[in-house]
Structure 1
Amino acid sequence: MQSNELSNIGLLKEIAEFLNEETDMEQMLQGALQKLLEGTLFETGWIFFIDKKGKQQLIAHDKLPNALKRNECMHLQKGGCWCVSRFQNGELKKASNIIECKRIVNARKKNNEDTNDITHHATVPLLSGQESFGLLNVATPNTIRFSEGELALLESVAFQIGSAIKRIYLTKQEQQVALVQERNRLARDLHDSVNQLLFSVTLTARGGVEMTEQQEIKDTFKEIQNLTQDALTEMRALIWQLRPKGLETGIMEGIKGYGDILGLTLTINVKGVINLPGSMEETLFRIAQEALNNIRKHAGVLKAELYLTVTLTDVLLVVKDEGCGFHMNESKNLPSIGLQSMRDRAYSVGGTVDWVTEWNKGTEILVRLPY
């Protein structure tokens, strides 16, 4: 066996061990790419994730020339090219030499920085069975074509990476299932214990009002009844948050059902076809829940308007009330943990949340998520 074959086997083993140990997607891809470049003559590389709609994301890169690194890898982030087009059409099945890369050409034309004599690259799809995730591209200065052996090595590494990507996705799905199961368990426990106990206290307080003639004691029992009823409403809302009944019939039905639990009257307006991924529905639902919670607790009104607009690229949710509003300070610090939670949920999927509010002029919450 020749020395370079032994070297390739050692490299594949090292990369496989690293992939098996890593659980964070971006760190895994970045580390695998670095090991590939360190163990071969490939000088630079980058990895695209490409979804079913053709949207691409530069998720890892290493040792890029200045022309490609410029403006946060602008030339790699935007525009089309031969390898991405072939991938989207399902025509790219194995490692291939690219005759001329449009991205590298554009970078060389528009920037003064050098491309380090990189003019061409090789590309290979990241696959696992019938699933495709994206592309691995590598390049070397003054190299137009890579040998069959180099392409074969690239395919082997891509196969390892594709399998590792699939493993991480499956692990996340298992975690989501476990999370849902735990939420369901907590919801059942709360319903069977605390919820029933609060209901019993409400009935007892109501009976206490009827059993006494002393007005002071009556007032005390009435106060206990009112406080317990509020706590019962809060508990039912919490149970609904843990195990929302209604998402199976659509997100807007789920939000409307939650509004009913809180005693809110909602006017709902929808534009576009609602056919969202489960994770996006969950994010929108949780943000809407927090918005409705804030209206019930702080706005001083029991009515709200919801507008959901779905386009080819974005989902826009607007929650509007005509309540008392609140003050946003100049430093943009959010005045409650709930508002920060809404922003964090949106940011976690690449979206944004903004507020338009003034004292005694109501509040409008604008949520935009990439679709």
Structure 2
Amino acid sequence: MAMNDHSNITILKEIAELLNEETEMVPMLKGALCKFLNGTNFSTGWIFFINKKGKSELVVHEKLPDALEFNGCQYLKNGGCWCVSRFRNDQLKKASNIIECQRLESAIEANVGDTDGITHHATVPLQSGGERFGLLNVASPHIESFSDEELELLESVAFQMGSAIKRIHLTKQEQEMALLNERNRLARDLHDSVNQLLFSVTLTARAGIEMSEGQEIKETFKEIQQLTQEALTEMRALIWQLRPKGLESGIIDAIKAYSEMLGIKLTVNVSGVLQFPSRVEETLYRIAQEALNNVRKHAGVQEAVIYMTVTSTDILLVIKDEGRGFAIDPDVTIPSIGLQSIRDRAVAIGGTADWVSEIGKGTELLIRLPY
């Protein structure tokens, strides 16, 4: 497949413009891949992200033949292949021809659809500096080996993509840091103003009880003290949610401290090594917070049990109480805002959240998170 230098420059320019304009990862990569395929003789392509543990994820694909698109890209998502193995072993440094691809071979052998003559593909790592993100793979019908010129163009596109991926990662880190700073500011403001005011009201109510002679007046002050104390507990819980204290000592200690603040006796059972990325750790902590809040507000008990099991790929978090429970209406997808928040947090990082509950028999939350 002959390629023109002028057209190559045009393709690289258009892709660079798109990568600079986009701010969302998947639309950016999909758009860049589409432009690359439309401007060259390559007919199809797909991108894997590969994490530090070597787990691959198909994030983008374009113009796949029916066999590769079968059942949600089953044969691209599953199984091993030379390119991913070489990437994991840090042996893939530049664009290369793939002599054999197990994923393609599996799709061909399964006879689940037309492969459009695709039997081989080229691969190139997506990286920026010392950071590696995944692979860009492209293919054409009846082509087993691509020219040096084609591989050089593929490398140039991969370099642009790697730089753009790095930029988006940095932008998201900056956004997360800005959000964390805003949470900390709000938590400080709430602590210094509303929290202190509520504490003052409780002291005033206590003084009113001691100074009053009439029983009705004493009861009124007692009610004020009780309501204010409840509001103070709610405010402290909110401040904890805004600014998680104790995570520097470990997630288990942080969860225990939060349960103590709520007045809940917590039993914790842990299996596996608790070493998570910061985002996963905070998600676990937020979910545990919300679950414990639900116990305090709705379960009618002051005890709960947490089981945390860690495998090489997943975290299973189970939170149980023996409280009043609730009836699960099959017509209502999410029974409460608190449970909706838990599920949203789990789904946001690729996990799942489910629950089992029955009136009078307590509630059990089951959270599974990848990491």
Q: Give the structure-2-normalised TM-score.
A: 0.98
Matched residue type, 2:38: E
The residue correspondences of 1:235-314 to structure 2 (distance < 5 A) are 235-314=235-314
| CA–CA distance in structure 2, aligned partners of residues 152 and 306 of structure 1 | 54
| CA–CA distance in structure 1, aligned partners of residues 136 and 330 of structure 2 | 45
Matched residue type, 1:333: T
Q: Tell me whether 1:174 sits opposite 2:174 in the alignment.
A: yes
Q: Tell me whether 1:16 sits opposite 2:27 in the alignment.
A: no
Identify the range of structure 1 (324-333 vs 242-251) with the bigger mean alpha-carbon deviation. 324-333
| CA–CA distance in structure 1, aligned partners of residues 224 and 234 of structure 2 | 15
Among the aligned pairs, what percent are the same residue?
69
The residue correspondences of 1:1-371 to structure 2 (distance < 5 A) are 4-371=4-371
Matched residue type, 1:58: L
| CA–CA distance in structure 1, aligned partners of residues 296 and 17 of structure 2 | 53
Report deviation, 1:331: 2.2
| CA–CA distance in structure 1, aligned partners of residues 122 and 266 of structure 2 | 55
Report deviation, 1:245: 1.0
CA offset digits 1:305-334 (Å, max 9, x no partner)? 111111112101111111111111122422
Structure 1 consecutive aligned stretches of length 4 or more whose deviation exceeds 3 Å: none
| CA–CA distance in structure 1, aligned partners of residues 112 and 228 of structure 2 | 71
Matched residue type, 1:5: D
- Give the conservation status (yes or no) of the 8 Å contact 2:3–2:150: no
CA offset digits 1:202-222 (Å, max 9, x no partner)? 111111111111111110000
Matched residue type, 1:163: S
For structure 2, the residue ranges without an aligned partner over 5 or more in a row are none
CA offset digits 1:54-107 (Å, max 9, x no partner)? 100000011111111101111100011111111111110000111122211111
Report deviation, 1:6: 1.1
| CA–CA distance in structure 2, aligned partners of residues 266 and 221 of structure 1 | 33
Report deviation, 1:335: 2.0
For structure 1, the residue ranges without an aligned partner over 5 or more in a row are none
Report deviation, 1:3: 8.5
| CA–CA distance in structure 2, aligned partners of residues 35 and 362 of structure 1 | 55
| CA–CA distance in structure 2, aligned partners of residues 325 and 354 of structure 1 | 14
Report deviation, 1:353: 1.3
- What value does the CA root-mean-square deviation take over the aligned residues? 1.1
SS at match of 2:4: helix
SS at match of 1:356: strand
Matched residue type, 2:336: S
Aligned residue-pair number: 370
